[in-house]
Each structure stands twice: as structure tokens, then as C-alpha cells.
Amino acid sequence: MKQIFRSKIFYLIIFLIILGIVLVFNNDEEPTEKLTDDEFFTNLADRKVTFIEVEQRKRVIEISGRLAGYEKDQYFVASVPNSETSLDRMNNAAEKHDIEKMEFTPYKEVSGWVTLFTTTIPFMIIFILFLVLLLFRVAIKR
């Protein structure tokens, strides 16, 4: 048993497991295209937008959607100012051009406690893991 913990392969395997866990949980898909607000409104006026998902942030509206000719996993992201002018412009263009589907997600502010716990728990887990490994190393030397 002592031979296993002294081996560098054991520590390499633990490192690879931690790296694998981080990569699995950090699988954010990037959009295929980022549009400016002018490009978005131009595509909207040209009837190229087929699907829109609108999410309000504090000062901007983040719009993700699909343009005509996009495949299933392709989408764009555009940020427009959270103002009456841009909302009216988007609503008028959407009504005129029969967009297939529009989804609106209201802004939800995350609690400070949730942010604190989600940022500190991974560090606590890594600290505990290294503490356990250190204790095993001390116990093996005795």
C-alpha cells in the first residue's frame, strides 16, 4: 500500500481525474457568430432571423438566435442596449417579418450567498484533497 502512494503515477492519476472533472463541468459552448446590434437589426430587417431568445441583463439585452441557413447547433449572440428604442425596433421588425419563435427570459439576480459558495467550494475541495494527500504522505513516513 505504501508503494502505491509513493509512486508518482498515483499523483499523476489524481491530477488527471481533477483535470477531467474540471473539463466536464466547464463545457461552455461558444456561439458560432457574434453580431453587433446594427448587424442584428439589419439581419432582422432582411428577414434572415428565424428564432430569437431574448434575455434581459442589467443594462443590455442579450439576444441569441438562429439565422436562415444555420444548422441546429449554430447560433448567434448579439447585445443591444436596454432601451425603449431598441425594444420597439426589435418588436416592430419581429411583427412585420413573422419570426417563427421568440422567447423572453426576465432578468434574475443571483444571490450573493450563491455566488460566494459557488466560487469558494471548488477551492475548499482542492484544499481538502491536498490535505488528505499530505496526511497520507506523513502517515506513510511513520
Count of positions (residues) in the chain: 142
Does residue 1 carry a pLDDT above 60? no
Cα 46 from Cα 6, distance rounded (Å)? 66
CATH class of 31-109: alpha beta
First to last CA, the chain: 13
- Asked whether the beta carbons of 63 and 54 are under 8 A apart, the reply is yes
pLDDT tens digits for range 16-67: 898 888 877 776 555 567 888 778 778 777 777 777 787 877 788 888 777 7
- Environment class of 87 (CB within 10 Å of its CB; exposed 0-12, middle 13-18, buried 19+): middle
pLDDT tens digits for range 60-115: 888 877 777 777 767 788 888 877 887 787 777 777 766 656 666 666 777 888 88
Amino acid identity at 77:
V
* Range 121-134 average pLDDT: 90
Domains of the chain: which residue ranges?
31-109
pLDDT band at 3 (very low <50, low <70, confident <90, very high): low
Amino acid identity at 85:
T
| Residues 6+ away with beta carbon under 8 Å from 38 | none
